[in-house]
A and B are shown apart, each in its own frame.
Chain A
Amino acid sequence: MDGTSMGFLDSIKAAFRSLFGAKQVRIGIYGPPNAGKTTLANRISRDWSGDVVGSVSEVPHETRRAQQKKGIQVGGDGNALTIDIIDTPGIATKVDFHDFMEHGLDEEDSKQRAKEATEGVIEAIRWLDNVDGVILLMDSTRNPFTQVNVTIIGNLEARELPVLIAANKIDLDGSTPATIKSAFSQHQVIPISALTGHNIDMLYETMVDVFGRGGR
Chain B
Amino acid sequence: MDEAGVNLISSHMLDGMSTEEKLDFILEEVRQGEVLVLERGLTPDEQSRLIERTMGDIDPDSEDGGEFIGIEMEGYRDDGRPTWLQKLLGKIRPPRMTLIGPANKLKTIHKDDDVIKTIILGK
| Cross-chain contact of B113 among A118, A125, A183, A186 (Cβ < 8 A) | A183
- Number of residues of chain B lying within 8 A (CB) of chain A: 31
Instruction: Give 1 or 0 for each of B57-91: 1 = CB within 8 Å of chain A CB.
Output: 01111000010011111110110110000000000
Known: A93-B103, A122-B55, A158-B43. 6 other contacts (CB 8 A): A92-B51, A95-B69, A114-B60, A147-B75, A151-B47, A155-B45
The interface residues of chain A, by DSSP majority, are classed as helix
- Count contacts between A and B, CB distance < 8 Å: 86
Given contacts A111-B60, A150-B75, contact A158 B44 (CB under 8 A): yes
A76 adjacent to chain B (CB < 8 Å): no
Contact B77 A97 (CB under 8 A): no
Per-position 1/0 for B18-50, Cβ under 8 A of A: 000000000000000000000000011101100
**Residues in B whose Cβ lies below 8 Å from that of A125:** 48, 51-52
Q: Assign chain A's interface to a size class.
A: 20 to 34
Residues of A within 8 A of B (CB): 91-97, 110-111, 114-115, 118-119, 121-122, 125-126, 128, 143, 145-147, 150-151, 153-155, 157-158, 183, 186
B48 touches A151 (CB 8 A): yes
Given contacts A95-B55, A118-B55, A125-B51, contact A147 B73 (CB under 8 A): yes
Q: In the complex, what distance in Å separates the CA atom of A114 from the CA atom of B59?
A: 8
Which residues of chain A are within 8 angstroms of B113 by Cβ–Cβ distance? Answer: 145, 183
> What B residues does A119 contact at CB under 8 A?
55
Contact of A186 among B54, B71, B73, B80 (CB under 8 A): B80
With A115-B60, A145-B112 in contact, is A93–B72 under 8 Å at CB? yes
14 contacts between A and B (CB under 8 A): A94-B54, A94-B72, A96-B70, A111-B61, A114-B60, A118-B55, A118-B58, A119-B55, A121-B51, A121-B52, A125-B51, A146-B111, A158-B43, A183-B113
